[in-house]
Structure 1
Amino acid sequence: MNVEQAIRRAAATLRDAGVDTPEHDAKLLLAEACGCSLSDVDKAMLLGKSIAALAEEHSAEGVSPAPSVEGVPERRFDAMLARRAAREPLQYIVGHAPFRYLDLAVGPGVFIPRPETELVVQEGLDWLAARRGRNEARFRVVDLCAGSGAIGLSIVTETADVEVWAVELSERTAAWTRRNAETVLGPTGTGSGIDGLYRLVLGDATDPDTLAELDGTVDLVVTNPPYVPESEIPEQPEVRDHDPQLALYGGSPDGLLIPGRIIDRAAALLRPGGLLVMEHDISQGAALVAYAQAHGFSHARTGRDWTARPRYLVARRDDYCA
């Protein structure tokens, strides 16, 4: 079977299974099975190459195929296709997910980073950039509910003069955070790596005792906390059945309980004039702006995603402390 035939067959299988992007997913799975890129798959389709020839070509270049699946390329592809048709997340199957300039390891037990969270990071980076030169010391940044490490690792790698503290409650998830941090920054004790410019803390992001030693000194808190309303269980099996529930649901029917507690914790962590950027559900913007304004923040507003939906809170800590 050549590559074009395999992609056509695989896409039909995924389409029948209800996958939203069957052709893209089929191509990406084949690329992983053969150790090549999406553009290589497209080129092989045009040239009428077989799967074996595609895999052999890139094996000669020293590119390794997906390590979690054994066997010849066709068998690797079929095994991954079956998992995707069962609605296992594509990112879990290939073992990684892109986020801004990073390629993060993901799998069972960790929330898969979403494109909309990139805007949350950008909001924080823009705020830091506008204030660069005002601080003699490094900016202090806290990533609450760190998950894969996407937010904190993006900030520490994309801007200078920052120290990041990342807080994660789940030990299982924190193993993914640490793995990504060590891949991106280097292992413990290297100065710029874990426990250097990036510190991972296992704890409850809403607990006043977590990072209590930083209270009143943090410049920026950026967070993607659990916020899905418990009354609105996601329809997509990839989300409903695979994303950790601890990272999904906001602790109440409207999903506002945990985000509210995150606002309270951020208010204590931030110095006067510091900034909170927090992702939320599209139904929660007005309520969270009002909550922030009533709990130590000023100039609170809602940021919008690429489709103009209200997606994140931006709130500045009052310039004085009550």
Structure 2
Amino acid sequence: MAELVDRGHRLLVQAGVPTPLNDARLLLADALGCDLHQLDQALLLDRTAEELLTNEGGRRQADGFQSAALDRYRSHLQRRAGREPLQYILGHAYFRYLDLRLGQGVFIPRPETETVVQAGVDALTRVDHPLAVDLCSGSGAIGLSLATEVPGARVRAVEVDKEAYRWGALNAAAQEAAIREVGSDYQLMLADAANAATLSDLDGRADLVISNPPYVPMDAIPSQPEVRDWDPDLALYGGSPDGCLLPCRILDRAMVLLAPGGLLVMEHDASQGPAMVAAALERGYVRARTHRDLTGRDRYLTAWRPAMVLG
């Protein structure tokens, strides 16, 4: 078993994979149909793959099963050495309390976006029967987190790309029971998030608009192959040299969707904090500020639609 991990580790090191040992372990566990804890225990006890594939009753899996598992591992390693994202190979990724299904055509949610979600959760828990809108929803990571973590939340999610929408719909179906258990409601639609007609029935009613829009500057092509070659361009690039064009369109749409006193939470590039604060203030938002993620980089904007002033 240790030899299999070592072989994978060395191959991924040669390919320049940033976390070769971790990836080799995860890929082997997936190929063998066990979890990482079981694999680590087998490694600690110096067990072989054949021993790990022996079931609890002591009966050994068929030789063909073991051969297929090892073939699967070799295939996984070749794909990862080609810098295909680990999450695509495994077919899923964990995000906060969710296990999301992922594959080619959908943006892979990042850990830093979990801080964006937390800002949204904190805001919604202060509102009775809150209504939230998730613009540019992708895999559903943000909106589904809100729907499962905030009891009684009504969440409306919008995604324009058909392939990303397909993955978002799969994840919504997988979380249906969890959403129902906390008394929430989640609906996903295929539409342009910046279009004035999208969710126009909710104009002036949303307590929260939250978004992780495309924001990478057009000339800032990512150096990491997993991002540059695999993440959908539609989910990456912000439509202008500074990457702010699409985020500003989200600012415009959110101002209309929000109820007076409602909150916008929007992720942005680490270089865009001052520009996003300025853009929000220009559009009439108040108390606009940028917040840092766990790595200390500017990561997301919060801004409020002004509360209605009675004469």
TM-score range normalised by the length of the shorter chain: over 0.9
Of the three residues 140, 148, 173, the one matched with 1:157 is 148
Question: What is the aligned partner in structure 2 of residue 27 from structure 1?
Answer: 25
Deviation of the 1:71 alpha carbon: 5.4
Which deviations, in whole Å up to 9, do the C-alpha atoms of 1:1-55 show, x marking residues without a partner? xx11111111110011010000000000011011111121211112111122223
Question: What is the aligned partner in structure 2 of residue 47 from structure 1?
Answer: 45
Residue 280 of structure 2: SS of its match in structure 1? Answer: helix
1: CA distance, partners of 2:123 / 2:77: 43
1: CA distance, partners of 2:54 / 2:302: 50
Please state if 1:285 is matched with 2:273: yes
2: CA distance, partners of 1:9 / 1:70: 17
Residue 302 of structure 1: SS of its match in structure 2? Answer: strand
Which deviations, in whole Å up to 9, do the C-alpha atoms of 1:81-112 show, x marking residues without a partner? 11000000000000001000000000011001
Residues 1:59 and 1:185: Cα distance change in structure 2 (over 3 Å): farther
Deviation of the 1:121 alpha carbon: 0.4
For 1:138-177, list aligned pairs within 5 A: 138-177=129-168
2: CA distance, partners of 1:201 / 1:5: 48
TM-score (norm 1): 0.90
For 1:151-300, list aligned pairs within 5 A: 151-186=142-177, 192=180, 197-300=185-288
Query: Segments of 4+ in structure 1 off by > 6 A?
Result: 58-61
Question: What is the aligned partner in structure 2 of residue 126 from structure 1?
Answer: 122
2: CA distance, partners of 1:51 / 1:253: 51
Residue 198 of structure 1: SS of its match in structure 2? Answer: strand
Residues 1:70 and 1:201: Cα distance change in structure 2 (over 3 Å): farther
Which deviations, in whole Å up to 9, do the C-alpha atoms of 1:158-203 show, x marking residues without a partner? 011210000000111111111000011159xxx949xx81111110
Which deviations, in whole Å up to 9, do the C-alpha atoms of 1:270-294 show, x marking residues without a partner? 0110000000100000000010011
Deviation of the 1:79 alpha carbon: 0.7
Which of 70-79 and 22-31 deviates more? 70-79
Code of the aligned partner of 2:294: W
RMSD of aligned alpha carbons = 2.1
Code of the aligned partner of 1:179: L
1: CA distance, partners of 2:28 / 2:93: 16
Residues 1:260 and 1:70: Cα distance change in structure 2 (over 3 Å): farther
2: CA distance, partners of 1:87 / 1:59: 39
Deviation of the 1:307 alpha carbon: 1.1
Question: What is the aligned partner in structure 2 of residue 106 from structure 1?
Answer: 102
Residue 307 of structure 2: SS of its match in structure 1? Answer: coil
For 1:2-81, list aligned pairs within 5 A: 3-57=1-55, 72-81=68-77
Q: How many residues end up aligned between the 2 structures?
A: 302
Of the three residues 69, 78, 91, the one matched with 1:95 is 91
* Contact preservation (8 Å) 2:207, 2:258: yes
Question: What is the aligned partner in structure 2 of residue 66 from structure 1?
Answer: none
1: CA distance, partners of 2:20 / 2:308: 53
User: Structure 2: which 5+ runs fail to align?
Assistant: 60-64
TM-score (norm 2): 0.93
Which deviations, in whole Å up to 9, do the C-alpha atoms of 1:123-151 show, x marking residues without a partner? 0111122x24xx3xx21100000100000
Residues 1:214 and 1:85: Cα distance change in structure 2 (over 3 Å): same
Code of the aligned partner of 1:167: V
Deviation of the 1:70 alpha carbon: 10
2: CA distance, partners of 1:203 / 1:126: 27
* Contact preservation (8 Å) 1:51, 1:73: no
2: CA distance, partners of 1:144 / 1:229: 19
Which of 299-308 and 45-54 deviates more? 45-54
Code of the aligned partner of 1:23: L
Residue 72 of structure 1: SS of its match in structure 2? Answer: helix
